[in-house]
Structures are given as structure tokens and as C-alpha cells.
Structure 1
Amino acid sequence: MTEYGRGPGPEPWHPEDPQYGDQGWIGHETQQGQMPYGGTQQQYPQEPQYQQEPQYQQQYAQQPVQYQQPQQYQQHPQQAQHPQHHQPQHHQNPQQPMYGDQGWDTGQGQYAGVPQAVDPYAGLDPYAQQQPVAGYPGEAPDLYGTAEAYPPPQPPGRRHLATEPEEQWEADEDESSLPAGGGGDDGDEPPGSGRRSGRSKDQPKKRSGMACLIAAVVIIGVVGGGGYYGYTYLKSKFGAAEDYAGEGTGSVSIDIPKGTGLGEMGRILKAHGVVASAQAFVTAANAHPKGGAIQAGSYVMKEHMSAKAAVELMANGAGVNALDVIPGWRNVQVYEAIDKRLKLQDGTTRDIATKEFKTLGLPDWANSNPKIKDPLEGFLYPARYDLKKDATPQSLLKDMVAKANQAYGNADLKGQATKLGLQNPLQLVTVASLVQAEGRYQHDFDKISRVVYNRLKPGNTETYGLLDFDSTVNYMKGQSTLDIGSVDELRKIDDPYNTYKIKGLPAGPIGNPGPDALKSALNPEPGPWYYFVSVNENETLFAVTNAEHNRNRERYEQERKKTGQ
């Protein structure tokens, strides 16, 4: 509480309080059309204060009171500076609303001193806009009586409510329809509650028909869309996928890229008309014992195949449209296979290889020996190559050379050749090709590789630096047989690939070694062996001396007679 006795409660303000009467608010003067000039407020004559007569008090008591406020007429700020004089009693203007302990003139009421037998405004909202009253001569027009005018000024304690949106007032009306005590239905509110009088609680709220219609349409759309989505989802998850029947007809080439899963495979097959749906293909692949092992590549399929038939064809490799280069194949075999698979005239690929070998990507050390019969020998790496729709001899040969470069680069042939006492990487590839051709079985590769290196030693007194391999003679003659003729006749043939006549390695590889033969050429098994002979599939006999080797050969001849070879 301040020295003037003003506190948070409803205590009256002291006349000497600077805020007494809210002197800074000029709503009353504005309504009367008399604005102060130069900061000087126009002085009004002192207005008399009247006391209400008993007969009128009785009439007011019979009328329902909307706001229970003291019926004291407002004192003008200047009036507080002069002593009060007793004036004759007149009727108080009932239209003047009361705010706190002081009156507040809206500027719309009748002049004081005009007696009225009945209060016509009892029970109405004291702040509601009233119809304009005809003024006396010289009176300023009512500036708030037109529809486009701003609302009349609000009391000082309610000015902050002027910034609230109308939606907030409407919400307050619903909340203020009942008194705080929870009882009564007269709609009375205490003064200064900060709320407008709401509509009667019996009055129904208005609803927009268009809003209801839009809400109904939205609800129906959501429910309908959700139902359709749920139906399609359940059908895709639990319903039988669309599928064809039978083995299909016609022919279509399909390319499955590397890294493709079963789902993507099914979509590719569906796009080419092979299967009816990807889901049917995936289901059939999961049910097949080899379905998970289906590899990427090129396939020759049929149109409108059942998913089961398509999986069966791909899982067993029958529909694979690819060229498999077998380890140990010579280049002439690779050329013939390419011509056959691409349906080209015989000799087409060989002519291209002869003319264009320099443009196929060979490493710089590939042609280190000018006596090489085929520069591409040993560089058409054994693997599976997809025969795509746009495949050509040039594209296939480039793929094979590129794969050989990758394998040889990973094995570091340049560094390993020096460690093994060889002159260049090409000789290392040549050793691997000999191991691949001489060794009939993979489990013998490491020892056969050691035999090759032992015979290449300068101090070799068993073969005196000669390899004496039948495989080089077969390559020289372009044949593949066990009966190569007598050794004496072979030693007379002068050819860079005749290891019965020349010492050391042939001019170049005699085939295309696979990864196992290459590994054995790089890591020969230690041992003193100079000879070997394969008696059967499970047994290869190795010898250190020629005499021991001759005994092993006799056993080999006996095995041949038993098998009829």
C-alpha cells in the first residue's frame, strides 16, 4: 500500500493521488466533442451531487440489476479541489455505469437532472453500444453511432482487453455463462470481471452446414483410403502373387547386373515379360534348394514362364547366356567358342585378335619374346563372361584381358618373377600354363610346379636343362594327345615351343592358367623331384632319378591296360 492508501484491493483512491480519476484519459471530453488545446483541459462548472428519493429507490429495487455497482455520480477531477455544497436532490441518471468507486461517462447518456419514472436500461449491458440520442442544440454529434465507427472507449481497467481477438471473447462467453459459484441462471456477473455478457445458455450454437459437409467428406476419404491401403497391403502380404502357368514360349535375353538380389531379379524378369510378378519369383526362389545361389549374368529365357520354371532354369544354369573360359584352354578354343556363341563365321574372332591385339589392353611386358605364336595367349583369363545383347568379339576379348591384368596385378608378378629366378613376368605366366597343362589334378599342382623349377636349374644333371613336356609339343602341333611320337624324332623338330629340343621355357604360355595353377607357380612345394607320372585320378608318382621314374612308368602302363586307355 502506498502513502495515499492505494493498494491491490477495492479501497478508494485519495484525492491527492496523481492517478486519481485517471486524469490522463479523455474519453469523456472526446465524446462531447471538446478536445483540450495546448495541454490545458477545459473547465466544467461544478456538477451537483444528488441523492436518490425513496420513491425512485423502490422502483429501482423492483428492477433486475445487471451490475451491482454503487449509484454514486462521478466527480469531476476539478471538483475535488473545492468544498462540497449541498444541492437539491434530483434523480440520478441510471444510464451512467459505475467503474470501481468512480463513475464513468460514456458520452451517450441523457443529461443529469432529467427525472425518469422507470429505468429503461435495467438489465442491459452497460457497455453495449446504444442507439444515439438526439442531442441538444450545439451538442457534438455522436461519433460512435455509425456502423463503420470504432467502438466507444473502454474503461481504464479494460483497455488491455481491446487487443484480444474476437475468438477469445467468444470463448469467454461460453465460460462465463454460469456464475463462479456454479448456481443461478440470471447471467449476472460481478463488476470488473473483464467479460462480456454471453448468450443465453439455452441458445444453441450455430453450426456451418458447409463445414460439416467438408468434415464428413474428409472423414469418408480418410476411412476409404485407409481401407483400400489396408486391403492392398494384406493382399500383397498374404494373398497369392500373380503368376503364369507353364514353361513359356519364345525367347528373350535377360541381363542381370552384379550385386542384384532376388527381388530386383524378379522385377527385371517381369519387365521383360518373363514372369507375371516379382513376388511370385521371389517366393519360388525361396522354395527352391538352389534358389539362393542364382547368380547375376546373362540368361536366355522364355516369355510368360511360371515363376517356378524360371527359377528352375536359372538355378541349374541351363538358361545362362554366358561364355565360360575353362582353365587350361588355349586361345584357339576361346576364339571358336566366341564365334559359336555370337553366331559368327568360323575364324572371325581369331582374325580380330590377330589384327587388333595391341588395342585390347595387354600389359607392356606381354610381348617380351618376338617368337610368341599368339600375343594374347595366357591373357584370356578363365572365368564366366556374360553374353549381353551388345556383346562383340572385341568387347569379350577386352573383358578377358582386363580380368587377367587384375589377377596378375594382385599377384605382383613382376616382383615374384625376380624372386623365383625368372627373367620377366611373362615367364611366370608361362610356368603357370605348364603346371595347368601337365597337372591333371589340382592336388598335384604344387609338386609339378617344383619339378618345373628343378628342371630349369643350370646344374640339372637329370634332364640337362630340358623340360621334355609333351604339352608343349601338343601346343606346337595344335593337337591334344598322349601319343606324341618317339623322343628321337621330337628332338629333331626346331620350334621355340619344342621343349624336347630347346632348353628352358617355351617362347610363351601354352594356354590360359587358372587361379590355382597361378598360385602353385608362385608357391612351389619344396622337393628334389625331377619326374612325375599320374597313375590314376587319385595318385601321381614323383621321382628324383630317371631309374625311379622308369619303374613308375611301368606301373602307369599297367593301369592303362586295365582301364582300356
Structure 2
Amino acid sequence: MSEHEDEVLPLGQDEEADEYTAGGARRKRRGPVGCLVLLAVLALLAGGLYVAVDRGMEFVSDQFGSVEDYPGPGEGQVMFEVEPGDVVAEIGRNLKDAGVVASVQAFIDAAAANPDSNGIQPGSYELAEGMRAADALDLLVDPANQVKTTVTIPEGLRVVDIVDILVEETKFNRKRYEKALDDPAALGLPEYAGGNAEGYLFPATYELGPKDKPVDILAKMVSRWRQAADDAGLEQKAAELGRTPAEIMIIASLVEAEGRGDDMPKVARVIYNRLDGPGDKGGTNGLLQVDAANAYGIGKSGTTALTTEELAVDTPYNTRLYPGLPPTPIEAPGDDAIDAAVNPADGPWYYYVTVDLRTGETKFAEDYQEFLQFKDEYLAYCETSDAC
């Protein structure tokens, strides 16, 4: 066989068949097995690419697919608190932690679609576990859904009377309130109150949340007093009147007990005149003779009619025996009484008599003889009225 003739390979030996180049050199030629190997490699690469793409699409689906949300309506009861300053994202996190919503993003999306979401008010709300985010949001944007107790404290009550109302309207017993009253710093009482809350639990209507404890409730009342005191300029006006803020609060409590409406500034003037006057107009000599203070001294309400024996009981609050102001306020004054105490009317009066108990008509006298005339008018009124 010539060296230039093709070699005949045995049957089955074509996988490594030689091939001559144009220059006569011999090169290897790939056979069917090599092609199969190449195809197998390509198949593996293609399979890997498919898996990678498939997993990548799964990742994209997780990140950009539908946000996890409960179908609702939910079950059970969750008392949820929105704190002052909470933003939507923070509320969403707290809702998720409480098991109310399935995801923070579901709540954020619901809030983005609801223009009222920026008006969510701090407070307590009754929600459920497993709520749809939009349903939870609908409850939170309506202030009417806040869980709270409304308590009204009228003017002119002593601390003991106020505690009676709070015990009746809340879930706490008297001991819890008394314990709170023993911590004046926690209540926010001013230093000049001397640690005594009498007169500083402001009469108003309060909204109490389910998490409010006795100290929180009483602190709200003192805070409201602080607002009233600032509005009236209590400290500044006290200095102008030559009195301490504590003395002004005592005077305000006496005005609350004795005065009504437009007469309050006149009653305040009578108190100042008796405190500061020479005592030559009717012989008061600094005696205020406010029976409501006497009643406080023996543990009774200022609206209680006292007997002659009760009026004679010797206590530091007996303004018939001791000149000057009693040691503390005798009840809680409201805005009008505080304002009257710092802005007394101008006038020479030393006495006043309520001549009509139904209308509250009160007459003011400059001297004792005029006072006696008004007293006779009151007695005549009582003969024809069952209000006495």
C-alpha cells in the first residue's frame, strides 16, 4: 500500500480517524463519540442555565409578587396601642408583631391607598388576630374606635369625693388611688402644694385609656390644672397681689365654694378685703367666716349645712375662730374661680348674702348694718320657699 494511500481502519476504529491536510500532514478527525460528548456538555450547561433562570424567576416572584396579607376577618381580641409619634411603618411593624396583620408591607400598601392614614390618633384600639391589613387600617383611622372611658369631675369636689368617682368609673380600688396620691412628684404637683393634691385635681372631663393606671389618671388631672394655672397667669398674678401661688389656690377654692358665675370676682374681693382690711367695717378682724372651710375641717362637704355645735369645732379650718386663710384649699376650683382669685373685682364689700337660693342672686354689703338688711331679706325668702 502506497504511503500516500488512505489507511483502511478496522471496523469500529473510526472514532479517532486520521485526516490529511492539504500540505500532506495528518490530523485527527473527531468521530461520533466526540460529538456525543460535546452535546452532553452543552446539555448540562443548558440545564444549569435553565435551573439558574428558573430560580432567578422564583426570586423575582418572591420580591415583586403579591404581598402577604391575611384574608380576614380575624379572630380573638388584641388590644393595640398607637403611641404618640408613631408613623405608618412603625404601626405596621407593631401590628405584625401583635399578629394582627401578616406583613408590614401589606399595611404600608393599605395606608398608601387611604388618604386618612396620616390622621391615625394615639390611643388604644380593639383589633383581632389575622386581619386583612386594609380592615385593620379602617379601624385605626376612625377615632370613634378608640377604647376609652370618659370620666367627668365637677367643680367644687374634695379629693376624697374625686376618688369616689374614679373608683366608681374605673377598675381600680381606693387603695390604688391613695397610694398614687402619696407620690406627689409622680403626679406633677407643684412644690408649693406641699405634697397635698387638694385643690390641684382639676375639674374637667377626662378620656382614660385601658392602660391608664391611677397615677396616670391623677397626673392627667394635675396637668390640666397646670394648663388652667398658666392660662390665668397664676404665678405672675400672685406676685402682683402680694400673695403666694399656694395662697391664690386656697382663695380660688373658697371662691368656688361661695360664689356663682359673675359673682365670683366680687366674692374674691370680699375675701381680699377681709384679709387685708383694718377690720373696722363690721369687726371681721381678718376672720373670713366661710362655713365651707369649717365643714372641710370636720370632714364634711362644703355644701353641708352645719349646726351651731359643728361651727364651733376647733380645727385649723375654722375661719370663725382663726383669722386668715385655712391651711390648704378646701376643694377643686375651676377656671372661673381661679380667674376670679387672680382678678378680683374692685369694690368696698366685706359681706355677701345669697337672697334667692334658686336663682343664686347674691347681694354684697359694705358694712355690717347693710349685711343685716340683706340677711332679713334672705329670711323672708325662706318663709315662702322650700329651697332653704
**TM-score, length-scaled by structure 1:** 0.42
Q: What's the counterpart of residue 521 of structure 1?
A: 341
Alignment partner of 2:193 out of 337, 359, 366: 366
Once the 2 structures are TM-superposed, how far is the Cα of residue 490 of structure 1 from its aligned partner?
5.5
Poorly superposed stretches of 4+, deviation over 4 Å:
251-258, 261-266, 268-273, 276-280, 296-300, 489-492
- Structure 2 residues not aligned, in runs of 5+: 1-76, 85-114, 129-134
Once the 2 structures are TM-superposed, how far is the Cα of residue 451 of structure 1 from its aligned partner?
0.8
Q: What's the counterpart of residue 379 of structure 1?
A: 200
Q: What's the counterpart of residue 351 of structure 2?
A: 531
**Aligned 8 A contact 1:445 1:520 in 2:** yes
Q: What's the counterpart of residue 169 of structure 1?
A: none
Q: What's the counterpart of residue 453 of structure 1?
A: 272
**Residues 254 and 515 (structure 1 numbering): CA distance in 2 closer, same or farther, change over 3 Å?**
farther
Q: Deviations over 1:462-521 (max 9, x none)?
A: 2111000011012112223452122xx456432221111110100011111111111111
Alignment partner of 2:324 out of 504, 511, 525: 504
Residues 42-57 of structure 1 mapped to structure 2, 5 A cutoff? none
**Aligned 8 A contact 1:255 1:297 in 2:** no
Q: Give the Cα–Cα distance (whole angstroms) in 2 for the partners of residues 269 and 359 of structure 1.
A: 23
Number of aligned residue pairs:
271
Alignment partner of 1:547 out of 369, 372, 380: 369
Q: Give the Cα–Cα distance (whole angstroms) in 2 for the partners of residues 510 and 270 of structure 1.
A: 39
Q: Give the Cα–Cα distance (whole angstroms) in 2 for the partners of residues 252 and 450 of structure 1.
A: 56
**Aligned 8 A contact 1:491 1:501 in 2:** no
> In structure 2, what residue type is equivalent to 1:542?
F
- Structure 1 residues not aligned, in runs of 5+: 1-250, 286-295, 301-319, 368-373
Once the 2 structures are TM-superposed, how far is the Cα of residue 557 of structure 1 from its aligned partner?
2.7
**Aligned 8 A contact 2:158 2:332 in 1:** yes
SS in 2 for 1:433: helix
Q: What's the counterpart of residue 70 of structure 2?
A: none
Once the 2 structures are TM-superposed, how far is the Cα of residue 452 of structure 1 from its aligned partner?
0.8
**Residues 347 and 454 (structure 1 numbering): CA distance in 2 closer, same or farther, change over 3 Å?**
same
Once the 2 structures are TM-superposed, how far is the Cα of residue 272 of structure 1 from its aligned partner?
4.5
> In structure 2, what residue type is equivalent to 1:485?
T
**Residues 299 and 421 (structure 1 numbering): CA distance in 2 closer, same or farther, change over 3 Å?**
same
Which protein has greater RCO, CA pairs closer than 8 Å, 6+ apart? Answer: 2
**Residues 297 and 428 (structure 1 numbering): CA distance in 2 closer, same or farther, change over 3 Å?**
farther
**Residues 541 and 458 (structure 1 numbering): CA distance in 2 closer, same or farther, change over 3 Å?**
closer
SS in 1 for 2:316: coil
Q: Give the Cα–Cα distance (whole angstroms) in 2 for the partners of residues 262 and 443 of structure 1.
A: 44
SS in 1 for 2:183: helix
**TM-score, length-scaled by structure 2:** 0.60
| Alignment partner of 1:412 is 2:230 | no
> In structure 2, what residue type is equivalent to 1:511?
E
Q: What's the counterpart of residue 324 of structure 1?
A: 152
Residues 261-272 of structure 1 mapped to structure 2, 5 A cutoff? 272=127
Alignment partner of 1:444 out of 240, 254, 263: 263
Once the 2 structures are TM-superposed, how far is the Cα of residue 399 of structure 1 from its aligned partner?
1.6
Q: Deviations over 1:184-215 (max 9, x none)?
A: xxxxxxxxxxxxxxxxxxxxxxxxxxxxxxxx
Aligned alpha-carbon RMSD (Å): 3.7
Once the 2 structures are TM-superposed, how far is the Cα of residue 346 of structure 1 from its aligned partner?
3.5
Q: What's the counterpart of residue 128 of structure 1?
A: none
Q: Give the Cα–Cα distance (whole angstroms) in 2 for the partners of residues 477 and 298 of structure 1.
A: 45
Q: Give the Cα–Cα distance (whole angstroms) in 2 for the partners of residues 297 and 467 of structure 1.
A: 49
| Alignment partner of 1:430 is 2:250 | yes
> In structure 2, what residue type is equivalent to 1:510?
I
| Alignment partner of 1:398 is 2:226 | no
Larger Rg: 1
SS in 2 for 1:456: helix
Once the 2 structures are TM-superposed, how far is the Cα of residue 377 of structure 1 from its aligned partner?
0.8
Q: Deviations over 1:416-445 (max 9, x none)?
A: 2232132x1100011111111111x21211
